[in-house]
């Protein structure tokens, strides 16, 4: 089986890590894989360490003639059995190339997130007749995308969860976060890993901290926010200063292997308003860190509120603060949540499961 992965990613995030995991897992099934991507991107750099053919092109918008010619040339030259689209713009490039040049190759698409709006043109491309299967990262994404597809295409949908890699040994981390930030042992470290985008809703993160510190007088905490800065970063920092929280939060920026810091957190807090996965919650499960999160993506399936973690409505910073306070005061409950979520992870959310379920879809499409 020869598969071409196609990605338009130009930055690094959870979806790109999932693609790397998938490539590694599919090798177990003797899938011959190649990657079509943009050069000089984090994905391009990281995939050099894998035993996989990489066809990289300079950045060209996927609707341009140069993109179509490069993709057509690649598919024809290698006679792939299957194309696997990993980003929305790769769907654009594929649909236009297939319409104008006829790729004549079975195709699947991984849908990782919930879009705020779906334009008329986007709806047309997602309903394109030659996309054979759509792999949704959670039931939430499945239900959302079902509304985007015409009824005749509903049978193309399936759910394949993201996975987290079970390591053979311990992963070396960049630093000890307590030492780096000079945090005493009695300080409870609340962690959050999220790039500074609107979907991550980091304003709710700061509002949650405000309730904990200024309303509930929880002074023995420190929030470590890890993620790539953006044009939104300064506004977040200004918000922290306005609320007098500068002693209680540190924006440490982007860190390689950010998930390796998870065991250093006492509690993992996620406040996103839109997610597909998110992988970081699953990674927290694996590292046995109790999770408090908004109900987005796979969270509603992976966490039963009050049984293996806490879940709140999107934007409900008061409830998030209440539930963090419970875990700060109840160490036994925090440990129970962590252990139950770890078992949940082993059953459903490993990269081994991701590879097996994806390969099953490939076989179904090709047969």
Q: What share of the chain is helix, strand, coil (3-state, %, to 5)?
A: 45, 20, 35
Going from the N-terminus, what domains does the chain have, and what CATH number goes with each? 2-163+350-366 (3.40.50.2000), 177-348 (3.40.50.2000)
CA dist 346 and 50 (Å) reads 25
Nearest of 328, 337, 313 to residue 201 by alpha carbon: 313
Q: What is the pTM of this model?
A: 0.83
CB 258 within 8 A of CB 226: yes
Please check whether residue 251 is in contact with residue 225, taking contact to mean a CB–CB distance below 8 angstroms.
yes
pLDDT value at residue 279: 87
Q: Is 20 left (phi over 0), alpha (psi -120 to 50) or beta?
A: alpha
Dist CA 86 CA 163 (whole Å): 15
pLDDT by residue for the chain (367 residues), tens digit each?
A: 999 999 999 998 889 999 999 999 999 999 999 999 999 999 999 999 899 999 999 999 999 999 999 999 999 999 999 999 999 999 999 999 999 999 999 999 999 988 878 999 999 999 999 999 999 999 999 999 999 999 999 999 999 999 999 986 656 676 899 999 999 999 999 999 999 999 999 999 999 999 999 999 999 999 999 999 999 999 999 999 999 999 999 999 999 889 999 999 999 999 999 887 788 999 999 999 999 999 998 999 999 999 999 999 999 999 999 999 999 999 999 999 999 999 999 999 999 999 999 999 999 999 9
Is the CA virtual torsion 146, 354, 270, 113 positive or negative?
negative
- CA-nearest of 71, 13, 5, 4 to 42 is 13
The whole-number pLDDT of residue 180 equals 95
pLDDT at 115: 80
């Amino acid at each position: 089986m020869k598969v071409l992965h196609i990605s338009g990613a130009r930055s690094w995030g959870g979806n790109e890590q999932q693609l790397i995991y998938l490539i590694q897992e599919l090798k177990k099934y003797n899938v011959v894989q190649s990657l079509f991507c943009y050069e000089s991107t984090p994905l391009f750099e990281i995939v050099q360490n894998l035993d996989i053919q990489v066809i990289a092109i300079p950045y060209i918008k996927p609707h341009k003639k140069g993109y179509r010619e490069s993709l057509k040339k690649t598919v024809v030259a290698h006679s792939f059995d299957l194309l696997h689209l990993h980003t929305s713009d790769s769907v654009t490039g594929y649909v236009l190339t297939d319409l104008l040049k006829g790729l004549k190759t079975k195709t699947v698409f991984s849908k990782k997130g919930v879009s705020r709006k779906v334009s008329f043109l986007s709806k047309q491309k997602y309903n394109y007749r030659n996309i054979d299967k759509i792999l949704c990262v959670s039931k939430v994404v499945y239900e959302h995308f079902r509304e985007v597809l015409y009824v005749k295409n509903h049978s193309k949908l399936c759910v394949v969860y993201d996975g987290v890699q079970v390591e053979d040994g311990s992963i070396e981390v960049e630093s000890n976060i307590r030492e780096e930030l000079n945090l005493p042992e009695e300080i409870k470290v609340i962690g959050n890993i999220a790039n500074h985008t609107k979907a991550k809703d980091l304003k709710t993160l700061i509002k949650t901290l405000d309730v904990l510190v200024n309303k509930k007088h929880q002074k023995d905490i420190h929030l470590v926010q890890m993620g790539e800065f953006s044009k939104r970063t300064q506004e977040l920092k200004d918000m922290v200063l306005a609320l007098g929280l500068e002693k209680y939060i540190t924006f440490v920026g982007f860190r390689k292997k950010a998930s390796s810091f998870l065991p250093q957190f006492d509690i993992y807090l996620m406040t996103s308003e839109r997610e597909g996965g998110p992988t970081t919650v699953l990674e927290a499960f694996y590292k046995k860190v109790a999770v408090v999160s908004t109900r987005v993506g796979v969270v509603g399936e992976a966490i039963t509120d009050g049984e293996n973690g806490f879940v709140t409505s999107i934007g409900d910073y008061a409830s998030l603060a209440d539930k963090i306070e419970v875990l700060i005061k109840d160490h036994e409950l925090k440990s129970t949540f962590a252990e139950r979520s770890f078992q949940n992870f082993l059953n459903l959310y490993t990269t081994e499961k991701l590879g097996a379920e994806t390969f099953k879809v490939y076989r179904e499409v090709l047969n």
